Amino acid sequence: MMMFGLSTTCALALVSGAWAIPSQVSGRQAAFRSTAITDFASPWALAFLPDNRILVTEKAGQLRLLDPNTKAKGTVTGVPRVRNAGQGGFGDVALHPNYAENNLIYISYSEPGSGTQANAAVARAKLVLNNSGGGALQDLQVIWRQNQQFGGDGHFSHRLLFDSNNSTLFISSGERQQFDPAQSLTSNLGKIIRLNDDGTPKEGNPYFSRGGVSAQIWALGVRNPLGIDWDEQGRLWEIEMGPQGGDEINLIEKGGNYGWPIVSQGNHYDGRPIPNHNTRPEFIPPKAFWVPVISPSSLVIYKGDLFRNWKGNAIISGLGAQGLVRVEITGNNAREVQRLSLGKRIRSVRQGPDGALYVLEDGQGGRLLKLTPN
């Protein structure tokens, strides 16, 4: 069933005791405490190293290494040239599940093509760190590319997610604002991609026997999928920015077709209507959608112990929402239960090894915030 997420207040009522001085009773207490660690130049994504240091990508093409204890920020050299324009630039960063042995990291970015054209690309490289808080990428190999280039600099999406079971790499590949490629089996745009860790298509993919880019496809008919994560049962969830209205959270199934651009709960930006999901039952509808939009920028399904009541919830960062949106997953259903306002456009949320949530604000001077329960 589709449903609107219900929004409840982001603060818990503070029960004031008899000792309280009436003028100081605020009546509200935030559900979390936010601590700013440092800031970056348009940060886009972050990943934790086993030693708890944090890799942060900056959209213009810098890879930074932060020691959250000393707040020292180093640089990792060797990032490929990116096209930093519009929504494109340096994107995501993820560690190989066997990083401790192979030191491999994976990065995504908008790769410059001819003129103003570009495509999303994914590369892997060995991360070689030095003793002064910096390092270099070595033996960089581009292991995946979108097979069509366009101008416009929108909808690259390019989030990365590993399945630690057998080192499977998932890539969320946006449709570059071109609509129809999302339904085409000869395009890898508008798709959820499933690969081996060397970039070759994964056996068991629904169109594996067709070869070419068809063999890379795990699911299709997605628009601008900016977040993917596992739930505790090993199911894959995805969030995507919809058109005018209609941001979605989807439960991704092997071979599933999510209907973009044929159906959506939103409409085109020029006002032309798009048929709703209920007109075409062959396409899988979202588990929840948002009108007005939240502009979802990343997704983490919380698996920690620190926020005790949030285990198994989808935590979505929002640009337009200027904070986090907490979505409760019950069986096959999803429903918004809380808005956590941070007062800034939020680019990314990740769960730290300590169970805290680490949040990147969007744009120049975007801060890294650590959220812990109050």
Residue 352: in which H helix or E strand, if any? none
Task: Please tell me whether residue 200 binds ligand NAG under the rule CB under 6 A.
Answer: no
Span near ligand NAG by CB under 6 A; candidates 26-34, 129-137, 259-267, 350-358: 129-137
Alpha-helix runs per DSSP H in the chain: 99-102
Question: Quick check: 10 and 285 in contact, CB under 8 A?
Answer: no
**Of the candidate residues 134, 151, 312, 363, the single one contacting ligand NAG (CB under 6 A):** 134
Q: Which of 73, 110, 64, 74 has its CA nearest to residue 90?
A: 110
Annotate 296-328 with b (16+ C-beta within 10 A) or e (fewer).
bbbbbbbebebbeebeebbbbbbbbbbbbbbbb
Task: Please tell me whether residue 16 binds ligand NAG under the rule CB under 6 A.
Answer: no
Q: Closest separation between CB of residue 267 and ligand NAG, Å?
A: 38
Angstrom distance (rounded) from CA 64 to CA 325? 27
Q: Closest separation between CB of residue 158 and ligand NAG, Å?
A: 23
Task: Please tell me whether residue 130 binds ligand NAG under the rule CB under 6 A.
Answer: yes
Whichever of 8 and 77 has its CB closer to ligand NAG, that residue is: 77
- 155 labelled catalytic: yes
Whichever of 77 and 364 has its CB closer to ligand NAG, that residue is: 77
Annotate 33-49 with b (16+ C-beta within 10 A) or e (fewer).
ebeeebebebbbbbbbb
Q: Closest separation between CB of residue 123 and ligand NAG, Å?
A: 17
The answer to whether the peptide bond before residue 261 is cis (omega within 30 degrees of 0) is yes
Span near ligand NAG by CB under 6 A; candidates 107-115, 126-134, 221-229, 308-316: 126-134
Beta carbons within 8 Å of 23's beta carbon, 6+ residues apart? none
Task: Please tell me whether residue 203 binds ligand NAG under the rule CB under 6 A.
Answer: yes
Q: Which of 221, 198, 240 has its CA nearest to residue 280?
A: 221
Q: Closest separation between CB of residue 168 and ligand NAG, Å?
A: 7
Beta carbons within 8 Å of 31's beta carbon, 6+ residues apart? 10, 11, 12, 338, 340, 373, 374
Strands of 247-252's sheet in order across = 224-230, 236-241, 247-252, 288-290
Q: Closest separation between CB of residue 135 and ligand NAG, Å?
A: 5
Whichever of 166 and 309 has its CB closer to ligand NAG, that residue is: 166
Task: Please tell me whether residue 209 binds ligand NAG under the rule CB under 6 A.
Answer: no
Q: Closest separation between CB of residue 166 and ligand NAG, Å?
A: 4
Which of 96, 155, 158, 277 is labelled catalytic? 155
Show contacts with ligand NAG in window 220-279 (CB under 6 A): 234
**Of the candidate residues 7, 9, 35, 166, the single one contacting ligand NAG (CB under 6 A):** 166
Whichever of 165 and 332 has its CB closer to ligand NAG, that residue is: 165
Task: Please tell me whether residue 86 binds ligand NAG under the rule CB under 6 A.
Answer: no
Q: Which of 291, 331, 333, 336 has its CA nearest to residue 316?
A: 336
Instruction: Tell me which residue has its CB nearest to ligand NAG.
Output: 134
Tokens of 115: 């003129």
The residues that touch ligand NAG, with contacts defined as CB under 6 A, are 75, 77, 130, 132, 134-136, 165-166, 202-203, 234
Active site residues: 155
